């Protein structure tokens, strides 16, 4: 699929500004964690069976978008450098780029026949130019399918925010469409560490980041596959590992399962018999003084879990799930502050932050989106347009290389159902899609790059 002519045809581009311009001299400095994420981009695609949009140039929904953007000045701003050479957003209301595209097949046909690489065509993938003062970091692409379906693709630099930020921006858009108040209003003030020092010497996260700086990420062709697991299957699997890990979450289970299977298909290591998994979690609600859920920026923590070959034995799913659970639940607030302090220590003379490096990779990386479930409702499937909710949501991280990336996300079915997006070197993706331990759980597979 990836080598064929794209079935997505972009036919118009416009710039959308906010309805209430920001103060021309207002700037938002990007944090040290924002700078660290600068190697990556983020992309979210919401699929709807029925398009809520008519002609976007005339439709009232464009007015709604303009209103929402007034609450998000950094989204319509442009990047600039401060006196130390660090990035800041100048809130000059230069607008966001909105693209309109046609897809030559129906939505159902697309989900069955498109591959993970072709799905990229539904959002904008563009590297930041060296001088980005007129460049729009945020893009929205409206993709109309034959028969009325639509995919809405949002993309931005990872410096500006994480996947949660981008998803909640779209949620605010859907709420404004219905004249509702924004459930999670944007909050732009970055987290301030408590008035005490945090040691970077004994921190799991900072020792991991220190080692990551020394590693080179190999460049290989990657591909993506999506697995959707039902509520009943996940519930059954959790009951089967209950004796080993009674408090396991769907994330613990699926992270362990895919880690074990990927280690199995990669084969034995010859130089090192340790297997490592980089775990990425959101820390908005994990601080003693939690960040508002609507915090717009990066609120992620990366830490490393390493197991030996005996612990990674294929028959020990419950044990590996328990170790994942203990690692994630055992993360303390001090880890997050130590990471931010470590990033401060990497500053160059004059106060300029160090260049970004690969946060997703080179180790096998697993991202938890469990925080996107409130109560038992998945936030990313609550974006309602004209009574229609998304039938599927995809998330991608740009420049995620190395051993691979897993995103464990909520699913449209809600409950314990989960969607797992896996990006691996191309040959490994094909093998994983035929792995009997995974197929035994009867996942629905979408957007397979094989």
Domain 204-446 class in CATH: alpha beta
pLDDT score of 198:
63
> What would the two tokens of residue 328 be?
């994630």
**Cα–Cα nearest to 419, from 399, 390, 392:** 392
pLDDT score of 3:
47
Distances (CA, A) of 2 to 42, 106, 113, 118, 121: 20, 19, 12, 6, 10
Q: What sections of 43-126 are H helices per DSSP?
A: 61-69, 73-76, 107-113
Strands 139-146 and 96-106: parallel
Give the C-alpha separation, 356 to 349, whole Å: 16
pLDDT score of 242:
92
> How high is the mean pLDDT in each 10-residue block of the chain (450 residues)?
73 91 81 96 95 64 90 95 95 93 95 91 93 94 92 97 97 91 94 70 73 76 94 96 94 97 83 87 90 96 90 84 95 88 90 92 93 91 85 95 94 94 94 95 81
- DSSP-assigned beta bridge partners for residue 308: 274
Span(s) in the chain for CATH 3.30.559.10: 8-178, 204-446
- pTM for the structure as a whole: 0.94
pLDDT score of 2:
42
Q: What percent helix, strand, coil does the chain show, rounded to 5?
A: 30, 25, 45
**Is-contact 226 446, C-beta < 8 A?**
yes
- The domain made up of 8-178 has a fold known as Chloramphenicol Acetyltransferase (3.30.559)
**Cα–Cα nearest to 403, from 364, 359, 358:** 364
Q: What angle do CA 395, 400, 404 make, to 5 degrees?
A: 95
């Amino acid at each position: 699929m990836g080598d064929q002519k794209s079935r997505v045809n972009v036919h118009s581009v416009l710039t959308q500004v906010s309805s209430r311009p920001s103060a021309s001299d207002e700037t938002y400095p990007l944090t040290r964690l924002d700078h660290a994420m600068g190697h990556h981009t983020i992309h979210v695609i919401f699929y709807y069976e029925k398009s809520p949009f008519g002609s976007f140039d005339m439709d009232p929904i464009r007015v709604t978008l303009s209103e929402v953007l007034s609450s998000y000045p950094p989204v319509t701003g442009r990047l600039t450098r401060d006196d130390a050479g660090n990035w800041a957003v100048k809130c000059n209301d230069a607008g966001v780029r909105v693209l309109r595209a046609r897809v030559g097949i129906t939505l159902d046909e697309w989900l069955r026949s498109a591959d993970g690489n072709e799905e990229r065509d539904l959002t904008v993938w563009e590297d930041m130019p060296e001088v980005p003062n007129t460049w729009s970091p945020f893009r929205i692409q409206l993709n109309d399918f034959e028969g009325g379906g639509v995919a809405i693709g949002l993309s931005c630099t990872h410096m500006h925010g994480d996947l949660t930020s981008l998803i909640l921006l779209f949620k605010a858009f859907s709420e404004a469409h219905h004249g509702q108040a924004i459930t999670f209003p944007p909050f732009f003030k970055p987290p301030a560490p408590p008035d005490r020092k945090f040691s970077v010497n004994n921190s799991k996260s900072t020792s991991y980041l220190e080692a990551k700086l020394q590693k080179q990420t190999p460049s290989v062709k990657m591909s993506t596959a999506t697995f959707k697991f039902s509520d009943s299957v996940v519930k059954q699997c959790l009951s089967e590992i209950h004796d080993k890990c009674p408090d396991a979450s769907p994330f613990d289970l699926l992270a362990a399962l895919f880690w074990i299977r990927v280690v199995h298909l990669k084969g034995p290591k010859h130089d090192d018999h340790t297997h490592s998994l980089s775990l990425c979690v959101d820390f908005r609600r994990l601080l003693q003084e939690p960040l508002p859920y609507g915090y717009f920026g990066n609120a992620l923590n990366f830490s490393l879990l390493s197991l030996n070959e005996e612990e990674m034995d294929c028959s020990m799913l419950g044990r590996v799930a328990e170790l994942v659970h203990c690692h994630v639940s055992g993360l303390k607030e001090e880890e997050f502050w130590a990471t931010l302090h470590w990033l401060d220590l990497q500053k160059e003379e004059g106060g300029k932050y160090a260049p970004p490096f690969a946060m997703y990779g080179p180790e096998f990386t697993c991202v938890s989106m469990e925080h996107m479930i409130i109560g038992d409702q998945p936030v990313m499937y609550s974006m309602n347009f004209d009574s229609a909710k998304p039938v599927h949501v995809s998330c991608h991280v740009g420049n995620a290389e190395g051993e691979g990336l897993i995103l464990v996300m909520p699913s449209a079915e809600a409950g314990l159902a989960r969607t797992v997006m896996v990006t691996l070197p191309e040959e490994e993706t094909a093998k994983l899609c035929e792995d009997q331990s995974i197929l035994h759980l009867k996942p629905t597979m979408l957007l397979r790059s094989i």
